[in-house]
Structure 1
Amino acid sequence: MTIARYRSLTAALAIALLAALLVTVTGQHSPAGADERPAGAQQLGDPDYGVCRGTNPGCYHEWGNFAPATDGYKVLLYTRTAGPRHANLGPALGSGLDPALTDANVVQKALVAMGAANGFKVDWTEDVTQLASPAQLFKYNAVIFYSTSRDTLDDAAQTSLRQYVRGGGGFVGIHNAFGTEYNWSWYEGLLGGANFYDHGANQPGTVITTNRHDTSTQNLPKTWAFTDEWYNLIPAPSRVRVLAEVDESTLANGVTGNYHHPGHGADHPVAWCQYYDGGRAWLTTLGHDTKDFATDGSFAGAAEYQKLILGGIESAMGKKPFCQAS
């Protein structure tokens, strides 16, 4: 065999092996002609994140890092935005812990009142230095990110949050917590292996309570009306216990509404829970509107939404059973 012939065969074999590898990894054949197109993205994220995660309580670390329940439950509400800011957060807050609130700080005031009515204390902050060490966070049974945005944590706070969760901490991510720390894979895993992609118009739809056994959903009806932006997610949550979905057939179609996004298709979760890297994580993409905290019945689904997040907070902090299947 000539050297030229050997090189030609070697090159052909390399091409064949590369094509076989492409099919194995992506499930797609490389394009053979201009009329062939891939069926769609197959690899939408890392399903592992290098930690123990899922619905198995064995992933939880019971290391005794929290004060006894007799000392009272406490949560830290974090609403710092480093990008778009939802109207229901009101004006940016001052530095330190528990800065002054105005009537426009609807989320903060509503969660403080919710805690007072249900036996737990809520501190609030938008000062990243309040998350600077695990010792600071271990004062709280859960940390709530409510519509934070973009790179809202510095290096110290990132490390602190991870150590807090690994030490058995509770995390609650609400609405634009999914529009936060896009480039931090551990945080994406904390959200359930999910990340914000886009959304349609704020519009009414029907929520289906797919699991009515969990603390956060046991007092909810099978279906309930609600209005939201209905976030589309890529990746979509995986290895989690889905608690509620939106019925996409109840949403408008086209650019003015929502649609079946290839990240999740018609299976569109809006609330779920998981154990993650030693801690508990309860998540919902709902929570866009200021009226979500109405108490006079004027906003459809407000009462159900408040029950949902109350149960999520209480279970994530360990006050009530967490992420139940039955």
Structure 2
Amino acid sequence: MKTLISALLLGACATAASAQTGNPGGPINDHLGDYDYGVCRGVDPVCYHDWARAPVKQYRVLLYTHTAGPRHANLGTPLAPGLNPALAENNVVQREMLRIAGENGWAIDYTEDPSQMANLSGYNAVIFISTSREALDDTGKTALRQYIRAGGGFVAIHNAFGTLYNWPWYEGLLGNANFYDHGPARPADVVVVDGKNAATKGLPARWRFHDEWYNLVPFPTKVRFLATVDEKSWGAGDVRAEPLPIGAPNGPRPANLPPLSRYPSVVGRSPGHGSFHPVAWCQYYDGGKVFATTLGHDAKAFEKDGEPGASQFQSLIVGGIKSVMGAEPFCR
């Protein structure tokens, strides 16, 4: 019996390994995981729950920026509890998203209060921008899952990938992807690989942008890839003095992070994703629509007339938001 069980386990492992081959970017991405989250997901609209809903008089979005761990500087001072609290001058993301919503005729609420996430049914899109760690309590997790299952739209931007690491359903929501690490923030070329999507239409085939270029484990699967970063374009120059990733050997480090190990790392560090390093994609997931991008580290990326590539980045996220809301065709 033990021999039979061992043979079955070995066969299952071989099947799983073979299922994880063939990812774009070369062998480096072949064994980063393609998990089964127990839901319908992918680019087929059969995974969307197109249930009866009220007609849209004005699109309404909810911006969530709660951080329970590292906090990106572009979020500014933590917000007071409640919905739509007063903003400080350094709350760049929230202020600029108010501008973007106004320019597009959307109503927008914003919050960092987990208690405000208990009922999401009034929103056409829920947007997580650089949230971190355990950003939702159990009530919020349930509300988000039920919102998605009712055909809701979700947008994940930048450190939304550094959020809720230990909730498998959320990892699947991100496209079978999670933040692993990044090198120093630096400029590189974003390459559009699907220019027909609502998020990418009108964008140049290649545009310069400054970011952290997240490495992902797992590597996204069953999604429609929209844009990548050309790793050969980032070079070694023009690196700004910013905090390095967790585990980096030197450089300034945020005070709210634990100290680095006293010993040099003897475990592997992700060197990137080879010839195919995704930075934006879309998918249907558990009844809902998802647009995700790892871009959005710099404050100036959100500002009108900000740094080079800011207008392209903003066009990308606006198109992604429109697509999950139903204002533009989704994921095609």
Answer whether contact 2:28 2:273 (CA < 8 A) is retained: no
- Alignment partner, residue 304 of structure 2: 295
- Alignment partner, residue 279 of structure 1: 288
How many residue pairs get aligned? The number is 296
Structure 1 residue matching 2:279: 3-state secondary structure: strand
1:41 Cα deviation from its structure 2 partner: 9.0
Q: What 5-or-longer segments of structure 1 have no aligned partner?
A: 1-9, 29-38
Alignment of 1:78-157 (within 5 A): 78-132=64-118, 136-157=119-140
Answer whether contact 2:189 2:208 (CA < 8 A) is retained: yes
Distance in 2, matches of 1:216 and 1:40, equals 28
Shift in alpha-carbon separation, 1:276–1:14, aligned structure 2, 3 A: closer
- Alignment partner, residue 24 of structure 1: 14
- Alignment partner, residue 184 of structure 2: 201
Question: What one-letter code is carried by the residue in structure 1 that aligns with 2:110?
Answer: W
Distance in 2, matches of 1:41 and 1:271, equals 17
Answer whether contact 1:93 1:125 (CA < 8 A) is retained: yes
* Structure 1 residues 158-209: Cα deviation after superposition (integer angstroms, max 9, x where no partner): 0110000000000000000000000000000000000000000000000001
- Alignment partner, residue 267 of structure 1: 276
1:294 Cα deviation from its structure 2 partner: 3.1
Question: What one-letter code is carried by the residue in structure 1 that aligns with 2:279?
Answer: V
Answer whether contact 2:223 2:281 (CA < 8 A) is retained: yes
Question: What one-letter code is carried by the residue in structure 2 that aligns with 1:174?
Answer: I
Alignment of 1:1-326 (within 5 A): 17=7, 21=11, 24-25=14-15, 43-65=31-53, 67-69=54-56, 71-132=57-118, 136-252=119-235, 261=270, 264-296=273-305, 299-324=307-332
The share of aligned pairs that are identical, in percent, is: 55
Shift in alpha-carbon separation, 1:265–1:116, aligned structure 2, 3 A: same
1:103 Cα deviation from its structure 2 partner: 1.7
Distance in 1, matches of 2:6 and 2:112, equals 55
Structure 2 residue matching 1:274: 3-state secondary structure: strand
- Alignment partner, residue 35 of structure 1: none
When the two structures are superposed, what TM-score results if normalisation uses the length of structure 2? 0.82
Distance in 2, matches of 1:63 and 1:239, equals 23
Over the aligned positions, Cα root-mean-square deviation in angstroms equals 2.7
Answer whether contact 1:235 1:263 (CA < 8 A) is retained: no
Distance in 2, matches of 1:40 and 1:165, equals 32
Distance in 2, matches of 1:216 and 1:42, equals 27
**Structure 1 runs (4+) greater than 3 angstroms displaced:** 13-23, 25-28, 39-46, 260-265
Answer whether contact 1:26 1:43 (CA < 8 A) is retained: no
More contact order relative to length (CA 8 Å, sep ≥ 6) = 2
Shift in alpha-carbon separation, 1:27–1:276, aligned structure 2, 3 A: closer
Shift in alpha-carbon separation, 1:95–1:200, aligned structure 2, 3 A: same
Answer whether contact 1:225 1:301 (CA < 8 A) is retained: yes
Q: Give 1 or 2 for the bigger CA radius of gyration.
A: 1
1:153 Cα deviation from its structure 2 partner: 0.5
